[in-house]
Chains A and B, each alone.
Chain A
Amino acid sequence: MATHPRLRAESVALARGGTPILDGIDLDLHAASLTAVVGPSGAGKSTLLRCCNRLDDVDRGRVLLDGTDVRDLAPTGLRRRVGMVFQTPTLFPGTIRDNLTYAAPTAPDRVLRDGLDRAHLSPGLLDRPVEGLSGGEAQRVTIARALVAGPQVLLLDEPTAALDQDATAAIERLLRGLVDDHGLAVVLVTHDLAQTRRIADVAVLLVDGRVRHHGPPTDIGGVWAEAVR
Chain B
Amino acid sequence: MTAVVVGLALVGVAAAVSVRWHLGIGRQLGTAAVRAVVQLLLVALVIGAIFEHTGAAGLFVLAMLLVAAWTASRRMAAVPYGLAVGLVSIGGAAAVTLTALFLADAFPFTPRYVIPTAGIVIGGAMSCVSLVGIRLADDLVDKRSDIEARLSLGASVRQALGPWSKRAVVSSLVPAMDQTKNVGLVSLPGAFVGMLLGGASPMEAAQVQLSVLLALLGTEALAAVLAVAGIVRLVTLPGERLRSLV
> A-side interface residues toward B, CB under 8 Å?
53-57, 71, 75-77, 79-80, 83-84, 86, 88, 90, 92, 102-103, 142, 145-146, 149
Contact = CB atoms under 8 A, between A and B. Distances in A.
Contacts of B149: 86, 90, 92, 142
A102 B239 contact: no
A83 B155 CA distance: 12
Contacts of B155: 76, 102
Contacts of B202: none
B156 interface: yes
Question: Which of A75, A77, A102 counts the most chain B CB atoms within 10 A?
Answer: A75
Contact of A79 (B145, B151, B238, B242): B151
B240 A75 contact: yes
B204 interface: no
A57 B239 CA distance: 8
Interface in B115-170: 145-146, 148-156
Nearest to B156: A76
Contact of B239 (A54, A83, A92): A54
B148 A88 contact: no
A75 B153 contact: no
Contacts, number: 54
Interface of B: 145-146, 148-156, 237-242
A53 B145 contact: no
Contact of B152 (A77, A83, A92): A83
Contacts of B145: 86, 88, 90
A54 B156 CA distance: 12
Contacts of A103: 153-154
Contacts of B153: 79-80, 83, 102-103, 145-146, 149
A205 B152 CA distance: 25
B241 A54 contact: yes
A174 B238 CA distance: 34
B96 to A, nearest CB: 33
A71 to B, nearest CB: 7
Nearest to B143: A90
Contacts of A54: 239-241
B150 A102 contact: yes
A55 B146 contact: no
Given A79-B154, A80-B153, A92-B149, 6 more contacts: A54-B240, A75-B240, A79-B153, A88-B145, A103-B153, A103-B154
Nearest to A77: B154
Contacts of B238: 57
Contacts of B154: 76-77, 79-80, 103, 149
Nearest to A16: B244
B196 to A, nearest CB: 48
Contacts of A77: 154
A14 B218 CA distance: 46
Contacts of A102: 150, 153, 155
A51 to B, nearest CB: 11
A143 to B, nearest CB: 12
21 contacts: A54-B239, A55-B148, A56-B241, A57-B241, A71-B239, A75-B239, A75-B240, A76-B156, A79-B152, A79-B154, A80-B153, A86-B152, A90-B145, A90-B146, A92-B150, A102-B155, A103-B153, A145-B153, A146-B153, A149-B153, A149-B154
Question: Which of B151, B152, B239 counts the most chain A CB atoms within 10 A?
Answer: B152
Contacts of B241: 54-57, 75
A55 B150 CA distance: 11
